[in-house]
Structure 1
Amino acid sequence: MSFQSPTYQLSGTHLVHGDRGPGTEVAPSVSVTSPFRIVSHGDPKGHGAMDPEKHIYSRYSQDVTSRVEQILSKVNHGYAVTYASGLAAVFSALVHFKPKRIAISRGYTGCHGAISTYTKGRFADTPIVGLDDEFQEGDLCWLESPLHPTGESRNIQYYADKIHAVGGKLLVDSTLGPPPLQYPFKWGADCVLHSGIKYFAGHSDLFCGILIVRTEDERKQLWHDRAHMGNIMGSMDSWLLIRSLRTMHLRVSRQSGKWHGTPIVPEGQEYDGIPGGVITKVWHSSLQETDGDGFNPSVQMEGGFNAYFSLLLSKEEYAEKLPHSLEHFHVPATSLGGVESLAQQYIRVDPKENPLLVSLSIGVEEVEDLKNDLRRALVEISKGV
């Protein structure tokens, strides 16, 4: 398959029909076998091929995993490999790139934990530097955009130019900006990471990590590493992911089109039923102003803004109570991106975060119901109810 000069859009046709291969099944069966009978004319080096006669062992490939990777490759305009979890994909990326140093600032706490685990297994030190530090040859720039927990965008093109100038590589964790919202390859990424449990899966019922690279040769390298690391995604999770991908374009567009920030209301005033002095700041890509380098998040987030953002409340008591005062938001939002809206005092995920910060992940519920729920809860906590 070729990805030269791609049209960057999320095709519902590819999501529904992108895995069509041998056989007559419309909905793929769950594959539970570990080994396969080897046929005389088969090819045990099929590298995850769709042809059932090329499968020899599920740790290498099997129908349902190969089908889901075919879809993911098409909709991400690259070559996708799936893993047992998002953090398994993080670790695999580190093994693949073997960075001399890792440049990273803030972001999902789980990625920092996986990086720490990776560096413990190295005989040579792997220094961690900041994104604003000077880069060197052999560095891996680890850029998360949009960013946990604020939902703000980072300038992918800027960091691509910066790291490529010294011969390094750029990995973009685009979990909070899935297709059709954002396409990191368009802005210079060398590798794209997704925690598949979130928007690709969308139903909070599976584990999956995804790495997408630019070439088939890179995919084969990742495939060989995965076969020997043993971190392939399970058959049931692969089957659930195929089911979920059929409606991804409908879910993500609905989720991202719902929210563009919550107004800051001064203390002593009220706006649209929201009491003043409770929310002091709102973070979201749509609220970022164009910076001095001309970065405009709406250009990078060409398919719509992310469905995840954060509120800064004026009192820790408010931040503790708000998630539990909501009726249409589940608690906690440890994971996100599903059809249900979630809320979380983020310090419960990352002890280093501000205890006043509450993150919200928007689902597919009716937007007015969510707004009314949030409005009611803010009134209640402001009155000490």
Structure 2
Amino acid sequence: MSSEKTNFNTKTIHGGQDNIDPAYGSVMPPIYQTSTYSQTTPGGHKGFEYSRSANPTRTALEKSLASIENGNFGLAFGSGLAAIDAVIKLLKPGDEVVSTNDLYGGTYRLFTKVFEDFGIKFHFIGMENAADIENYVNDNTKLIWVETPTNPMMNIIDIELVASVAKKHDILLAVDNTFATPYLQQPIDLGADIVMHSATKYLGGHSDVVMGALVVKDKDLADRLYFIQNASGAVCGPMDSFLVLRGIKTLHVRMQRHCENGKAIAEYLAKHPKIEKVYWPGFESHPNHNIAKRQMNDFGGMISFVTKGNDYDEAIRIVENLKIFTLAESLGGVESLAGHPASMTHASIPKEEREKTGVVDSLIRLSVGIEDVNDLIDDLKQAIG
């Protein structure tokens, strides 16, 4: 990418895409639907030998990922959990991880049901006051794992402050940036070592692909992760790479509308007489609103809320009666989705642990899409009653 193409909206389209297809001048990188590549002599090839190790379409995506996150190296995986799995494989038995206690249920499941059996210890703590992290750091601590905004409670964690703790103790800091996307915040610029995405969500943006991504700046760390990526083999295919690369090209315009619609819906819900609490970092009443305002460019399209009376049946009635919002797992697509975390995305977390962080049975999570906001508000109005 030439030096003048430095602004984010330009990076989404051109970032890391230096070469026009040499065969026919294709503007979009072609889908190289191949598993292997011819060699002129053993080991003599044009940079690609086997598509688990590298594929031109995936490489184009990985360069785009690095560009939009202001990193130097991008890695694409078969899913977000595969990307997280690669990060934890940097560790060894006896190592410890400090993680936020409000995080995606699949991440919690991977940490507790898979990697704890390999002798890695996890501490799940509230990180809204990031200084509390030091109480859990010891000589065995090798990684701090952060989500911000968190899933599904929309808690905001001060990345710069956590980064200062990590650097003080020579600990890696990884930030799950799925909810915010690089359009809203760029954790590497705030001191993170690793940025992780479920590219299934906003980066792909159209609910038609499952993929994960990592971005780093340090070459030695990148080399370790590339080795794990290749050795473990949890890579994405060329068609999926093409789809996410295409999705990234409209990320900036989609996120503008997600943010606009999210703000309108959060404000509508906050005034609704049947709603007890709305969780959205754009409210001045949000506990860490000032941190969100400082480290994010806007407040996103993810919202959670609870109805008055904390009634499970009422929450289920609402999500089942929505007409435009689709009751479904996942988030970040152009279409609006509604979910019930306690029985869906966070069902793998024990009830008592869920409720400690606010994931009560009446909590509803919305992924606000880019439809006409008046239609979305009317849908909520008729469903809530």
Check if 1:147 corresponds to 2:150: yes
Residue aligning to 1:183:
186
Check if 1:69 corresponds to 2:55: no
Residue aligning to 2:296:
301
Check if 1:108 corresponds to 2:113: no
CA positional deviation for 1:286: 0.8
Q: The residue matched to 2:184 in structure 1 has which SS?
A: coil
Alignment of 1:19-58 (within 5 A): 19-21=17-19, 22-23=21-22, 24-40=25-41, 53-58=46-51
CA positional deviation for 1:193: 0.7
Residue aligning to 1:80:
74
Provide the C-alpha distance between the structure 1 equivalents of 2:252 and 2:290, rounded to a whole number of angstroms.
26
Paired residue type of 1:337: G
Provide the C-alpha distance between the structure 1 equivalents of 2:2 and 2:162, rounded to a whole number of angstroms.
26
Check if 1:203 corresponds to 2:206: yes
Q: The residue matched to 2:162 in structure 1 has which SS?
A: helix
Contact 1:327 1:373 in 2 (8 A): yes
Contact 2:280 2:286 in 1 (8 A): no
Higher helix proportion: 2
Check if 1:262 corresponds to 2:257: no
Deviates more, 1:202-211 or 1:20-29: 20-29
Provide the C-alpha distance between the structure 1 equivalents of 2:326 and 2:75, rounded to a whole number of angstroms.
31
Check if 1:363 corresponds to 2:350: no
Provide the C-alpha distance between the structure 1 equivalents of 2:10 and 2:321, rounded to a whole number of angstroms.
37
CA positional deviation for 1:155: 1.2
Q: The residue matched to 2:161 in structure 1 has which SS?
A: helix
Q: The residue matched to 2:231 in structure 1 has which SS?
A: helix
Deviates more, 1:203-212 or 1:236-245: 236-245
The one of 78, 87, 102 equivalent to 1:93 is 87
Contact 1:136 1:168 in 2 (8 A): no
Cα 1:127/1:364, change in 2 over 3 Å: closer
Across the two proteins, how many residue pairs are aligned to each other? Answer: 355
Alignment of 1:285-300 (within 5 A): 285-287=281-283, 289=285, 295-300=290-295
Deviates more, 1:54-63 or 1:136-145: 136-145
Provide the C-alpha distance between the structure 2 equivalents of 1:15 and 1:97, rounded to a whole number of angstroms.
35
The one of 106, 120, 126 equivalent to 2:121 is 126
The one of 299, 306, 310 equivalent to 1:312 is 306
Provide the C-alpha distance between the structure 1 equivalents of 2:81 and 2:239, rounded to a whole number of angstroms.
19
CA positional deviation for 1:374: 1.1
Q: The residue matched to 1:58 in structure 2 has which SS?
A: coil
Q: Runs in 1 of length 4+ with deviation above 6 angstroms?
A: none
CA positional deviation for 1:125: 4.5
Q: Percent identity?
A: 28
Contact 1:145 1:153 in 2 (8 A): yes
Provide the C-alpha distance between the structure 2 equivalents of 1:28 and 1:15, rounded to a whole number of angstroms.
12
Residue aligning to 1:221:
224
CA positional deviation for 1:140: 1.1
Provide the C-alpha distance between the structure 1 equivalents of 2:156 and 2:251, rounded to a whole number of angstroms.
22
Q: The residue matched to 1:237 in structure 2 has which SS?
A: helix
Paired residue type of 1:134: Y
Contact 2:268 2:377 in 1 (8 A): no
Provide the C-alpha distance between the structure 1 equivalents of 2:48 and 2:17, rounded to a whole number of angstroms.
16
Contact 1:142 1:170 in 2 (8 A): yes
CA positional deviation for 1:264: 6.2
Contact 2:174 2:193 in 1 (8 A): yes
The one of 181, 185, 196 equivalent to 1:193 is 196
> Which segments of 5 or more consecutive residues in structure 2 lack a partner in the other structure?
352-358
Cα 1:13/1:107, change in 2 over 3 Å: closer
Query: RMSD of aligned C-alpha atoms?
Result: 2.5
CA positional deviation for 1:168: 1.4
Contact 2:333 2:369 in 1 (8 A): yes
Check if 1:158 corresponds to 2:158: no
Residue aligning to 2:337:
342
Question: TM-score scaled to structure 2, two decimals?
Answer: 0.85
Question: TM-score scaled to structure 1, two decimals?
Answer: 0.85
Residue aligning to 2:276:
280
Provide the C-alpha distance between the structure 2 equivalents of 1:43 and 1:140, rounded to a whole number of angstroms.
39
- Residues 127-150 of structure 1, C-alpha deviation per residue, up to 9 Å, x if partnerless? 435354431243311111011012
> Which segments of 5 or more consecutive residues in structure 1 lack a partner in the other structure?
45-52, 266-270, 380-385
Cα 1:15/1:117, change in 2 over 3 Å: farther
Q: The residue matched to 1:210 in structure 2 has which SS?
A: strand
Alignment of 1:226-241 (within 5 A): 226-241=229-244
- Residues 216-251 of structure 1, C-alpha deviation per residue, up to 9 Å, x if partnerless? 332222112111101111122111112212211111
Cα 1:14/1:339, change in 2 over 3 Å: closer
Provide the C-alpha distance between the structure 2 equivalents of 1:155 and 1:139, rounded to a whole number of angstroms.
19
Paired residue type of 1:317: D
Cα 1:287/1:37, change in 2 over 3 Å: same
CA positional deviation for 1:207: 1.1
Q: The residue matched to 1:258 in structure 2 has which SS?
A: helix
Contact 1:91 1:118 in 2 (8 A): no
Paired residue type of 1:237: D
